[in-house]
Structure 1
Amino acid sequence: MGKYETPARLRAVLADVERFRAAFEAWASLHVWVQKNSNGAGEYEVRDGVPSGALSRARRDVAVAAGRAGLAASIVMDSPFYDSNGWNADQNLIHRWQAVAYNTRIEEILDYTDMLAGQIAALVQNAEHDTPPQLGPTELHALIWGAAKKLWQIGEYRRAVSSAADAVEWYGRQQTSRHDIEGVVVWQEAFSDKAPEPGRPRLRWPGDPKHKSVTSMNRGLLGFGVGVQQTIRNQAAHGQGEQEYTPQEALERLGALSLLARWIDECNLDEASPAVPAPTNGQPVATA
């Protein structure tokens, strides 16, 4: 179905077909079938008393509607409904409405239009089933969208990414209470495989630390955090040759930042055990 395969486009074509039907019915109501012989042959004639202006307007409305709806048949011909034995260019009664209207029963054109509308409606259903859900920036982690929102809404996509990247870096420092470091060091410290030390807690993926998947996740978080900092934050902030991002380019970067923020949320904070004071005078230190 080419460029007409999106649900929105197909619904627009369906609306055009329905507008044609309404305009054609209005035009047809100004006519009456006159039988010419005993064999049933005849033609439509304008009803007595119909003003010429009303007839002209009705005919123009049908012509315009037919021009818009005429594409519907070609869409069906390029769809699973197409049957080479049942469709061809000459059978497009919307395009040929005026040539056939005076010697073809109006009901035939209406039936054709209804059939076409039904087939387009079925194509809409198929396209909706095949189209993946459309996700936007508002579905991102609240921290990320909150930092990017105002800049995104005015089309400053690169700055929106930079703002969101700064926000997730701040979040990493906040979760580990490490306001003495910045940049890649935040993630190197937060996700380090070294044991925590006083003032240097770690973020750990939940689960058995000896389990392969947990070990893999902890190692991956270190690489991912550092990678996001270097490839997204640094490039958005001061990358050489970086131009304004398209919405899609910005959304993909925000998605990575959002994922990092969500993983931070899922991690546990691993802190060093409080130091036990050394005993004095050979006596054990009392503990509460």
Structure 2
Amino acid sequence: MSNEYSEDYLRKLRDAVERFEAAFDAWMATQVESDHMSSRGLLPTVWTDDGQDEAEVRKLELNVAEAAGLAARAVAVTGAYINIAGIGVIDPIANWSFMSSPKAPLAPRDVRMTSANVKGRLDAMIADSEATAEAGIPSFAPAQFHPVVWAGAAAHWTTHQYRVAVREAAEGLTVHWKERLGRNNVDDTVFWQQTLAPGTGEPGRPKLVWPGEREDKTVKSMRGGLEPLAKSLNALATGLNLTVRNVTTHTRAELSEQEAMERLAAYSYLARLLDHCEIDRGEADEGAAGSGSGNA
């Protein structure tokens, strides 16, 4: 796998994850550990055990926070995010403190599993970096693609399953927006056609709207020489679903790394355009159109 990170940098990231694990384990020794089943989704998944020195616990918490600041970069590089229903893509290392909140979206197991996963992916990237350096191949970093796209692709990309990586990235982006808009009741292609179609949103059928006045040059080109960007965005999303997602889902023809990177780059560009869109939920959410950005 090509990447733009040096072997030394990747090893430093791995060391940062190990330091986070040590700090996290030290703090967890002062906590009562639960999980989502036991907390019934309403309570924290960790809380301070009886008899602990509060000053010492605070010190250990700060140690974890500092270590997480360094280790979280490793999640971005490896794409080891997790997807939580109703929230979306999340970095368990950067957001470890969520475990202490009511309705905690994370449990200690999520943090530990992510740390182990990140180390494994970094080991694979270090091996690839060594091979690339020996072969003198120019570097490229698919980990810099849009985080939703890379989160779907990363686990399969590091094992060189490029067709599956592209398929999961394509499906992941669609699932991400279906969940945000509450549209899990429609097929993928129809979802994009309806969501990016002209007109205003309706209750139960919101739309993603390119921001700005229709006369703006970012929305409608000069002299009418090009399609309005909003219409082109619909065509881009629908076209990618038909030519990339459907092909990688319904065929078994493997992709080369170059072919997969080109497809992921197209989806990453689409994802960043969608981030600029505003959500129009129709009359039931009057006044919300234009006030809520689609930024992921």
Give the TM-score of the pair, scaled to structure 2: 0.45
Give the TM-score of the pair, scaled to structure 1: 0.47
